[in-house]
Amino acid sequence: MARAFFDVDKRRAVGGDELRMFWGQEPSPGQQAAKLHVPIGGDIAEMSANLLWSDVPTVMVDVDSTDKHTAVSTQAQIGRYLDDRGHAKMREAAELAAGLSNVYLRVVWDVELRPRPWLDVIPATGVVPEWRWGMLAAATVWRELEPLTEGGDVWRLLEYHTPGSIEYGVYRGNSGTLGVLMGFEDHHETKFLVKRTDAHGRQATGVDRLLITHMPNVLPNRVWDGVPDTAPLGRSDFAGIEPMMDALDEGWTSWMRDLRLGKAKVVVPQSMLDTDGPGTGATFDLDKEVVAGLSGLIGAETMKDSITEIQFKIRVEEHERTTKALRRQILASAGYSAQSYGEEGSVAVTATEVAARKEESLTTRGLKILYQRPALLEVLTTLMWVDVTHCGAKGVDPTVELTASWPQAVQPDPEAMARSLSLLESAGAISTYMKVKMREPSWDDAEVLAEVRRIREDKAAAVPAGDPFSTRGDGPNKEQPDGEVEPGFDEGQSEEPDEELVGGGLRPELAA
């Protein structure tokens, strides 16, 4: 895989010579190919997907775009779309987009397999897009089918997607040509399309929109600048860092070469070898503890010094510093911090320190969310249309407005937050409402107010019996009715001046 990725096209090289790439060089004649590949590209793509989709984003229905009952049922159905399967598919799409610059999400349905529609992830190499004003207007999806013979025939299935319809075609050709159009019955993988299409191979989707959604990684693509119909395709995380990734492989290969050459070797004279007979060669037993020298032979007195040891130096520190510097530069050029890659160890630190160390990664995460959020909302809307049209979903309104918010990548330290809230409470500078809001930023006002009421009830239940400070003249410990707690006001707060103080002093009866 690495050789195919870094291989150099000799026809484009200046003067017919290969470019200076490690993987573009063939091994010397008679030498074993021992090149080592470090899969840092796959690690970067995986890290990108984990930063974006380690948790499911919160998708909310705008209650002003439909009635309350329909909003609740639609919200529940969206939660089913983003179950473990849907979550895994979106994470898979994010990883492919990081490496291939973009990816496509296709909505499919088959009530014989599942009662709801689901997502299918298509890599960028399997789609031929058609753009209009920078938006996906049509797309041809293709894939190779299982070969039916051992010859050179290649079977392909093509799907031409337009708003409202899909046109299918099965072709038999070879590795370089599409070939001739065949029938769906001619291949076992396409027989199911006979019932889903008309006489012309078309299927009406009943939805006046594309069932394919394009999701770019980030934009713009600096390498393809000026190439027609490539502007919306996005930019890979690997764009521009291929030479450094190639150099990293060369560094690790050199390190392993030092290990191989550094193996201790022993050179002995021919006279010390044990012959196995004429024409069968000779051997030297390294485990033999005693070698007896014969007196009278020339040079016998120096026999003990004739064994030579060869031990090459293994440049561990030099290679480690080189490869580590290359890794850090590759990650920085891809938009990630070394901390995200585990370069700084796993010592426990606060959330603020983690955020500072991962600042570059978090910035890249926020940038990618700008492109993933519209694709997520679009594909969820398409799922609702297909669910209502073909799967009989009830209580789902595909026309609702949706919003999506991603959870925090670095969760705040609960202990540090507790100390901050305690200091603010001691200073009288925060209400219970704001304390709950700071603890759970994702909660809406209704959830926060409900939690404030529970806190008030717990505090009221904890007041000792007969406490004179728990009453305002209505008898000891008489429970006061709960009123609506306004955001920003703590319990017990009042807009009226303190009853105990009049004109800056105590009431006369209390002063007496």
The answer to whether 22 and 6 are in contact (CB under 8 A) is yes
Q: How far is CA 435 from CA 62, 331, 458, 467, in A?
A: 26, 38, 16, 27
Q: Is the pLDDT at 293 greater than 70, yes or no?
A: no
CA distances from 285 to 161, 272, 277, 358 (A): 73, 10, 16, 57
> Distance of CA 34 to CAs 27, 261, 313, Å?
9, 13, 19
Residue, of 202 and 149, whose pLDDT is higher: 202
Stretch (H or E) spanning 129: strand 127-132
Phi, psi at 212, each rounded to 5°? -120, 135
Torsion angle of alpha carbons 96, 100, 102, 108, nearest 10°?
-50
Query: CB of 396 within 8 A of CB of 386?
Result: no
Q: Residue 499: its pLDDT value, please?
A: 43
Rounded Cα distance between 318 and 297, Å, is: 48
DSSP assignment string, 76-91: HHHHHHTSHHHHHHHH
Q: Which residues pair with 184 in a beta bridge?
A: none
pLDDT tens digits, 324-354: 999 999 998 888 887 766 665 444 455 555 5
Which run of H or E residues covers position 131?
strand 127-132
Cα dihedral 208, 379, 122, 90, rounded to 10, equals -170
What are the residue boundaries of the structural domains of the chain, listed by start? 1-26+238-271+306-334, 38-135+213-237+364-405, 414-511
> Which two three-digit tokens encode residue 437?
């809001």
d(CA 452, CA 447): 9
Closest CA to 442 of 478, 479, 405: 405
The least confident of 273-277, 281-285, 293-297, 451-455 is 293-297
Farthest CA pair distance, the chain: 130
Nearest to 339 by CA among 360, 367, 365, 364: 360
18 — pLDDT class (breaks 50, 70, 90)? very low
pLDDT at 3 over 50: no
Rounded to whole angstroms, the Cα distance separating 118 from 461 reads 50
Q: Specify the higher pLDDT residue, 54 or 444.
A: 54
Nearest in space to 119 (alpha carbons), one of 103, 132, 106, 102: 106
- Collect all residues with Cβ–Cβ distance below 8 Å to 300 and sequence separation of at least 6: 293, 294
Give me the residue label for tokens 């390190």.
255
Mean pLDDT for 150-168 is 93
Of 449, 414, 411, 412, the closest CA to residue 431 belongs to: 449
Summarize pLDDT for 345-399 with one digit per residue, the tens. 444 455 555 555 667 888 899 999 999 999 999 999 999 999 999 999 999 999 9
Q: Which residue has the tokens 């103080």?
A: 501
How large a percentage of the chain has pLDDT more than 90?
A: 44
Over 90: is that where the pLDDT of 511 sits? no
Contact 81, 407 (CB under 8 A): no
Asked if 36 and 256 count as a contact pair (C-beta separation under 8 A), the reply is: yes
* Mean per-residue pLDDT, 302-319: 74
Specify the higher pLDDT residue, 258 or 274.
Answer: 258
- Count of other CB atoms within 10 angstroms of residue 120: 15
Alpha-carbon distance values, 486 to 106, 358, 394, 479 (Å): 46, 38, 37, 20
Q: What is the pLDDT of residues 449-505, one digit of tens each?
A: 999 999 888 888 876 655 555 555 555 555 455 555 555 444 444 444 444 444 444
Hey, is 402 helix, strand or coil?
strand
Closest CA to 157 of 144, 148, 173, 166: 144
Q: Please state the rounded mean pLDDT for residues 306-314.
A: 75
pTM over 0.85: no
Please state the φ and ψ torsions of residue 510, each to the nearest 5 degrees. -80, -35
- Report the SS3 class of residue 508: helix
Query: What mean pLDDT comes out for the span 206-216?
Result: 95
